[in-house]
Amino acid sequence: MALRFVTAGESHGPGLTCIVEGLPAGLALEADLLNRDMARRQLGHGRGGRMKIERDRAEVTAGVRHGLTLGGPIALQIANRDYANWEERMNPWPVEATVPEVHLPRPGHADLVGTQKFGFSDVRNVLERASARETAARVAGGALARAFLRAVGVEVRSHVIQIGSVQAPDRGEPLTVADFDGVDEDPVRCLDRDASRAMVQHINVQRKANESIGGVFEVIAFGLVPGLGSHVSWEERLDGRIAAALCSIQAIKGVGLGEGFDLAGKPGSEAHDEIFWSAERGYYRETNHAGGLEGGMTNGDPLYARAAMKPLPTLTKPLRSVDIATKEPAQALRERTDSCTVPAAGVVGESMLAFVLAEAYRAKFGGDHIDDVVAAVDAYRARIDWRS
| Domains of the chain listed by start with CATH number | 4-383 (3.60.150.10)
State the pairing for strand pair 166-167/64-65. Answer: unpaired
The burial of 275, by beta-carbon neighbours within 10 Å (0-12 exposed, 13-18 middle, 19 or more buried), is given as exposed
Per-residue model confidence (pLDDT) at position 371 = 98
Per-residue model confidence (pLDDT) at position 52 = 54
Per-residue model confidence (pLDDT) at position 53 = 57
DSSP H helices in the chain:
31-40, 50-53, 87-90, 111-118, 124-130, 135-151, 193-208, 238-247, 268-271, 342-365, 370-383
Question: Which parts of the chain have pLDDT scores under 70?
Answer: 1, 46-54
Per-residue model confidence (pLDDT) at position 129 = 97
pLDDT tens track for 287-297: 999 999 999 99
* Whether this model's pTM surpasses 0.75: yes
Per-residue model confidence (pLDDT) at position 173 = 87
Per-residue model confidence (pLDDT) at position 255 = 98
Is the CB of residue 61 less than 8 Å from the CB of residue 358?
Answer: no
| Beta bridge partners of residue 74, listed in sequence order | 20
Sign of CA dihedral 336, 341, 347, 352: positive
Contacts of 290 (CB under 8 A, 6+ apart): 257, 258, 259, 272, 273, 299, 301
Per-residue model confidence (pLDDT) at position 269 = 96
Per-residue model confidence (pLDDT) at position 337 = 74
The burial of 337, by beta-carbon neighbours within 10 Å (0-12 exposed, 13-18 middle, 19 or more buried), is given as middle
Radius of gyration of the chain (CA): 22
| Beta bridge partners of residue 158, listed in sequence order | 219
